[in-house]
Amino acid sequence: MPFTAQVLHGFNPLEALEDEWRGLFNQAESPNPFFSAEWVFTWLNHRGGQVFPVTLIVRDADNRLVATWPFFEYPAIGGRGLWVGLSDIADCLEPLVIRPDESLLGTVFEALGQLLGDYRFIWIPLLNERLVRRHLEPALQRFPNLTGIHHRTPNYFVDLAAQAGFDAYLTDVVGSKTHRDCRRRLRLLEQLGPVEHVTYRTPDDLLQFDVEMRSIEKVSWKGREQLGHLTKAGSGDFFNELLPKLMALGQAEITALRVNQMAIAFEIAIRQGSSYGFFHIAYLPDYQKYAPGRQLMLYNIERAMSEGCTEFDFMQGGHEYKQKFCSGNRELMDAFICQRSPAGRLNHWLSRIFTRRRAN
């Protein structure tokens, strides 16, 4: 089936696409959860005049929208560049496609050549290595470019479908030493009072827990270091609007760990199909010795398994605990694609210097 790629510039043509975008996401076989209409249009609403959107779309022979990839303009030497939309907040930046069709994906990646006609560079982080090897690199052979492709921290996950059960997972993956330590810390926590886990799934549930949740993050190490999603300047209002939308659609949920009815930790999960996404966690520092984050994570791994999820995705970050509790990983890569022009070469040269310094 023939596909046609098109580039949309600005807010108006993108906003006119919102209903079609939502329909594409709902029909997609395995959509990138961060490129739902709720994520994308809420992000645009909060970024406002800070970004100018440039959107790559693909339609099939019947004029149906079958792929989207949001970008925004970014300053470049000698002109403008492009960054993938939501790159400041999302954990996956792969294009949204209706199905992983070879021809469709080929069209999406080859259309990057259209973008390089007007922009000095395109910055695409967080691409699955499979997409890079099978689609991006072949597409780069079809149009002039200068490219730097680099590995980054892998995406760790638990293959829940491969586990014989939660006890088997604890034995085979976590290991007896770590499991004993978790049990010991839980027993110490239980000495403080009744321990319970509460999962909030609806916007009304969120209203009940919102103040507690934000208070926990504010005093946590993430809050103190300005790494918290809910209390950090520039993202707090975004999540305040986004979370109720996602929860109304069953695409997000929040689980709290309570001791004596007081919440000491919470985790935000992104739910999509049979995948459980471990998106964000925070806990009260006074309870650190009880490993509340780890206790909550293990509870949710068991819960995801009991609810029929096939994968517990740790999402971004190479934290030691993710490596310890995972059963596999996916290699991720960043791509910096530049024009073959004097200005493009300057941007490419600077990107190589930056990459070397970061590696050192």
Given a contact cutoff of 8 angstroms between Cβ atoms, the answer to whether 78 and 120 are in contact is yes
Q: Is the pLDDT of residue 359 over 60?
A: no
Q: Does 242 share its domain with 309?
A: yes
According to DSSP, the residues that pair with 155 across neighbouring strands are 330
Q: Does 145 share its domain with 8?
A: yes
Q: Does 130 share its domain with 197?
A: no
The 10 Å Cβ neighbour count of residue 63 is 8
Query: Does some domain include residue 195?
Result: yes
Backbone torsion region of residue 200, taken as left when φ is above 0, otherwise alpha when ψ lies between -120 and 50, otherwise beta:
beta
The pLDDT value recorded for residue 233 is 82
Cα separation values, 107 from 57, 146, 241, 319, 337, Å: 10, 20, 34, 35, 17
Q: Which tens digits make up the pLDDT trace of 202-222?
A: 999 999 999 999 999 999 999
Q: Which tens digits make up the pLDDT trace of 270-315?
A: 999 999 999 999 999 999 999 999 999 999 999 999 999 999 999 9
The pLDDT value recorded for residue 1 is 65
- Residue 177 to residue 37: CA distance in whole angstroms: 44
Given a contact cutoff of 8 angstroms between Cβ atoms, the answer to whether 131 and 155 are in contact is no
Q: Does 200 share its domain with 309?
A: yes
Could you tell me the CATH number of the domain that includes residue 262? 3.40.630.30
What DSSP state is assigned to residue 332?
E
The pLDDT value recorded for residue 355 is 67
The pLDDT value recorded for residue 354 is 67
Q: Does 193 share its domain with 141?
A: no
What range defines the domain where residue 239 resides? Answer: 164-326
pTM over 0.85: yes
What does the DSSP assignment read for 40-104? HHHHHHHHGGG--EEEEEEE-TT--EEEEEEEEEEEETTEEEEEETTTTT-S--PPEESS--HHH
Q: Does 177 share its domain with 252?
A: yes
Q: Which tens digits make up the pLDDT trace of 15-67?
A: 999 999 999 999 999 999 999 999 999 999 998 778 999 999 999 999 999 99
Q: Does 220 share its domain with 343?
A: no
Query: Does some domain include residue 159?
Result: no
Q: Does 230 share its domain with 278?
A: yes
Q: Does 295 share its domain with 338?
A: no
**Tokens 């034995």 identify what position?**
171
The pLDDT value recorded for residue 67 is 98
Q: Is the pLDDT of residue 70 over 90?
A: yes
Mean pLDDT over 238-256 rounds to: 97
